[in-house]
Amino acid sequence: MNHRRLPLLSAALLCAVWAPASIEWSEGFDTALSRARSESRVLFISVTSDGEARSEEAIELYGERAVVAQAEHTINLAACNAEHKAKGECPRFEGTDCSSHRRNLGSATDAVLVANSQGEVPVPQHLWIAPDGKVLINVPWEITAEELVWCFVTARRRAGEDGVEMPEDARPPRRLQLGAVWAPWEEARLARGLTQDELSEHLKRMKSSMEYSEALLADWSRVLFTDEEDAVKYARVQFGALEYLGVDTVVTTLTGIGMNSPRSFWEVLEYFTKNGNVRIRNTAAVAMEELAAPDARKAVISALKKEKDPAVEKNWLRAAGACGRDDSSTRKLLLKSATREKDALLRRNALISLGYLAPHKSIRAALADALEGDDADDRLAAACAMALTRDAAYLPRLEEAVAAADAGQRADLEPALAVLEGANLRRIAEVFGRVSGDETIRIRLFFGEIVPDRADEGPEGEDD
């Protein structure tokens, strides 16, 4: 398991000091669903796998007081196929036994999870189900404590609970599905990362391979999807010679890291941030934005300050916002670019990047000024940034902007308004790409289908 330090929680997220030490789990799927329905409470489902690093980190988060405090308001179900104890209460999931949480995985797969043709479901993943059985939120793979809190609060709001406050430090996950469940890709076996033992076998096989093959490519895809230090180290060493295979191969590989790899793979991307090829540097910047790894902030800022090509620099600005969410110096840098930059493309991307940052009065002021300004594209950039935050506090300003806009601009602003009202982020993908000058769609950012889809995203006007 990769024991990187988990994100610290602020005082706002630690307010519930009275909370129990861990989540209390229900015994069976049908019982949990019945309780959720009869008590009009949200059902939270955790899907994990022993020995897989993302799952192990998620299980650690279930002991965070802020997460436990939120889970006090929901019915909670563990779905895990491992046996931790032959008889009696499971030492990992309090309130249930291992035979129950193993059965829960099968029941949840039959009832709500979506598997590919190999029968694989994303692991880990977290789901929040409404009392009537409809899916409210689904988050596969990485999640932090702040993101778990955001999902608990948002699920309860979407289920119709009143007066549920959102802690200031809570934030939406990068991979987020509202009103739907994600299915893993068919062509690549990327449902879960490898365990340490599985990784060792893969690396042994790859090191002995003397030529390119489909099997070797499949092994690489599994390694790049695995959140283990040995996986990152092997990729970092091997990719030193990646350019010998051609620029197209480098671009395809770095794009895949941005789409699929754990945040720890920013260390692999760092090697390419100073590359002499514009396409490679640009792809590295986009992938850094997708990963949004806080530990990558210094490398990203360094690349930003050295970049001379505006078409690449704009993406380093966005990567800086994604990686520097809680950093005050990054906030000051991006605010300066968003309010004073003469180059329109750089200014608009700096405005968009403000949507990645932690809430701050200076950010709210800058986005409000841009939304009310004379430049139509700056207004759209500000609206996209507001949508990225998913902060309903921006709703009144955006509603006013939509009401005051002409027909053409109203059509461009309405997708951002829909996101703040509860739609999936993919709703703004087209406008976002146009105003930012993007040539590459951020698959991880606009998680799910890129085409607009209103199905099961919740009623218009619903806060989240």
The per-residue pLDDT for range 179-202, each reduced to its tens digit, is 999 887 765 567 899 999 999 999
30 domain residue, yes or no:
yes
pLDDT digits (tens, 9 = 90+) for 317-352: 999 999 999 999 999 999 999 999 999 999 999 999
Residue 112 has pLDDT above 90, yes or no: yes
Contact 120, 102 (CB under 8 A): no
The Cα 16–Cα 196 span in angstroms is 36
Tell me: do 15 and 120 sit in the same domain: yes
165/198 same-domain check? no
Q: Quick one: 99 and 138 in the same domain?
A: yes
Q: Tell me which of 459 and 309 has the higher pLDDT.
A: 309
Res 15: pLDDT = 45
Q: What pLDDT does residue 188 have?
A: 56
Give the closest residue to 221 by CA, choosing from 251, 186, 183, 193: 193
Q: Per the domain annotation, does 362 fall within a domain?
A: no
Residue 437 has pLDDT above 70, yes or no: yes
8 A C-beta contact, residue 81 and residue 108? no
Q: Is 224 in the same domain as 314? A: yes
Whether the Cβ atoms of residue 273 and residue 244 lie closer than 8 Å to each other: no
Q: At what angle do helices 328-340 and 310-323 cross, to 10 degrees?
A: 140
Residues 157-177 have pLDDT tens digits of 999 999 999 998 999 999 999
Chosen domain end from 324, 345, 376: 324
The answer, yes or no, to whether residue 450 has pLDDT greater than 70, is no
Domain membership flag for residue 353:
no
Distance, in Å, from the CA atom of 93 to the CA atom of 444, rounded to the nearest integer, reads 30
Residue with the two structure tokens 């935050």: 389
* pLDDT tens sequence across 203-220: 999 988 767 677 778 889
Share of the chain above pLDDT 90, in %: 75
Mean pLDDT of 415-433: 95
Clarify whether residues 143 and 289 are in a common domain: no
Same domain, 284 and 424: no
pTM over the 0.95 mark: no
User: Residue 459: its pLDDT value, please?
Assistant: 38
293 and 243 share a domain? yes
Rounded CA separation 144/8 (Å): 10
Any residues with CB less than 8 A from the CB of 76 and at least 6 apart, and which?
Answer: 23, 24, 25, 26, 32, 43, 44, 46
Q: Count how many domains the chain has.
A: 3
Q: pLDDT, tens digit, for every residue of 274-313?
A: 999 999 999 999 999 999 999 999 999 999 999 999 999 9
Whether residue 449 sits in one domain with residue 392 = yes
* For residue 381, pLDDT beyond 50: yes
> What confidence tier does 389 reach under pLDDT thresholds 50, 70, 90?
very high
Q: Which of 289, 304, 324 is the last residue of a domain?
A: 324
Domain residue limits at 32: 11-178
Q: Determine, yes or no, domain membership for 339.
A: no
Retrieve residue 459's tokens.
Answer: 């009623």
Q: Three-state SS string across the chain, please?
A: CCCCCCCCCCHHHHCCCCCCCCCCCECCHHHHHHHHHHHCCCEEEEEECCCCHHHHHHHHHCCCHHHHHHHCCCEEEEEECCCCCCCCECCCCCCCEHHHHHHHHHHHHHHCCCCCCCCCCCCCEEEEECCCCCEEEEEECCCCHHHHHHHHHHHHHHCCCCCCCCCCCCCCCCCCEECCCCCCCCCCCCCCCCCHHHHHHHHHHHHHCCCCCHHHHHHHHHHCCCCCHHHHHHHHHHHHHHHHHCHHHHHHHHHHHHHHCCHHHHHHHHCCCCCCCHHHHHHHHHHHHHHCCHHHHHHHHHHHHHCCCHHHHHHHHHHHHHHCCCCHHHHHHHHHHHHHCCCHHHHHHHHHHHHHCCCCHHHHHHHHHHHCCCCHHHHHHHHHHHHHHCCHHHHHHHHHHHHHCCHHHHHHHHHHHHHHCCCCHHHHHHHHHHHHCCCCCCCCCCCCCCCCCCCCCCCCCCCC
Per-residue pLDDT at 458? 46
Question: pLDDT tens, 9-31?
Answer: 444 444 444 445 789 999 899 99
Phi first, then psi, for residue 23 (nearest 5°) are -70, 140
- Asked whether residue 69 is assigned to any structural domain, the reply reads yes
Mean residue pLDDT of the chain comes to 89
Same domain for 93 and 36, yes or no, is: yes
pLDDT at res. 242 = 85
Q: Which of 110, 143, 178 is the last residue of a domain?
A: 178
For residue 396, count CB atoms less than 10 angstroms from its CB and return exposed for 0-12, middle for 13-18, buried for 19 or more.
Answer: exposed
Strands across the sheet containing 177-178: 75-80, 43-48, 125-129, 135-140, 177-178
In this structure, the answer to whether residues 307 and 382 fall within a common structural domain is no
pLDDT at 208: 87
CB 428 within 8 Å of CB 417: no
The CATH code of the domain that includes 50 is 3.40.30.10
Q: Are residues 59 and 17 in the same domain?
A: yes
User: Is 263 a member of any domain?
Assistant: yes
On whether both 16 and 78 belong to a single domain, the answer is yes
Per-residue pLDDT band for 257 (boundaries 50, 70, 90) equals very high
Q: Report the Cα 102 to chain-centroid distance in Å.
A: 27
> What confidence category does residue 463 fall into, taking pLDDT thresholds of 50, 70 and 90?
very low
* CB of 173 closer than 8 Å to CB of 143: yes
Both structure tokens of 53? 């690093």
Residue type, 87: K
Q: Is the pLDDT of residue 88 over 50?
A: yes
Which tokens hold the place of 190?
């990327």
Number of residues in the chain: 464
Specify if 343 maps to a domain: no
On whether residue 333 sits in a domain, the answer given is no
